Amino acid sequence: MAVDPLIELRDVNKHFGPLHVLRDISLTVGRGEVVVVIGPSGSGKSTLCRAINRLETVESGTILIDGEPLPAEGKDLARLRAEVGMVFQSFNLFAHKTVLANVSLAQVKVRGRGKREADLRSRELLERVGLADQADKFPAQLSGGQQQRVAIARALAMDPKALLFDEPTSALDPEMINEVLEVMRQLAQEGMTMVVVTHEMGFARSAANRVVFMADGRIVEDRSPEEFFTAPESDRAKDFLSKIL
């Protein structure tokens, strides 16, 4: 596994003031791999995701996307950022734009596609996430699960090499969680490289190639889901699992 690294972090460190939120983080995500990141609240999971997309700067260490170091700014940063799509807990759709326009917008602005081409691609992707019939609605007319699937279609519309999900189902009512996880499972099966922060342990068991357990800004365990769930090594992971399982 991880013979062909797509996302690589080497000795990454970050503070928020006195708080050391990322401590010597080294992590390699191979092409086609699904890595689920779990850990207690405040352990640095979101900061890790945001650092991979340079939504947060880091103080030391290197982050590489498909072998290219992520620069601090400039054209190369914008290009590499577009290679890694991000899906957040809050869907962040434009309320005053239709579902179709939400998926098409960045294709025109960032990828330079014509509107017709972008709309065609958007309709394909909406079909893929099971929302072909919702294209002309506005976000508020959709359920939370549907809105999150639009957000996934929007991320896919940039043709990313990898997708990061930061608790994509945490804001959803229970009955909507599965429809989002199902789309994510399908993407995983199709070979999409994914980093997924989630508390959905069923997803971690069934879809992850690796589970990364974080605590206090460190990666404490990085193992297969079978190993992690049946025989966690660290006290931190044992304690965490005893609380959530």
Query: Which stretches of the chain bind ligand ADP, using CB under 6 A?
Result: 16, 19, 21, 39, 41-47
The item of Mg ion, ligand ADP, none sharing an interface with residue 154, based on CB under 5 to 8 Å by kind, is none
CB-CB contact of 106 with 156 (8 Å):
no
Q: What are the two backbone dihedrals, phi and then psi, of residue 24, each rounded to the nearest 5 degrees?
A: 45, 50
For the chain, what's the residue count?
A: 245
Site string for Mg ion, 26-45 (x = CB under 5 A): -------------------x
Angle between helices 144-156 and 174-189 in degrees, nearest 10: 20
- Compare residues 123 and 218 and give the one whose CB is closer to ligand ADP: 218
Q: What is d(CA 152, CA 156) in angstroms, rounded to the nearest whole number? A: 6
Smallest separation, CB 167 to Mg ion (Å): 6
The item of ligand ADP, Mg ion, none sharing an interface with residue 42, based on CB under 5 to 8 Å by kind, is ligand ADP
Smallest separation, CB 86 to ligand ADP (Å): 14
Q: Residues 46, 53, 134, 147: which binds Mg ion (CB under 5 A)?
A: 46
Q: Whole-angstrom distance between the N-terminal and C-terminal Cα of the chain? A: 28
Tokens 């990454």 correspond to 12
Smallest separation, CB 226 to ligand ADP (Å): 24
C-alpha radius of gyration, the chain, whole number: 18
The binding site for Mg ion (CB under 5 A) comprises 45-46
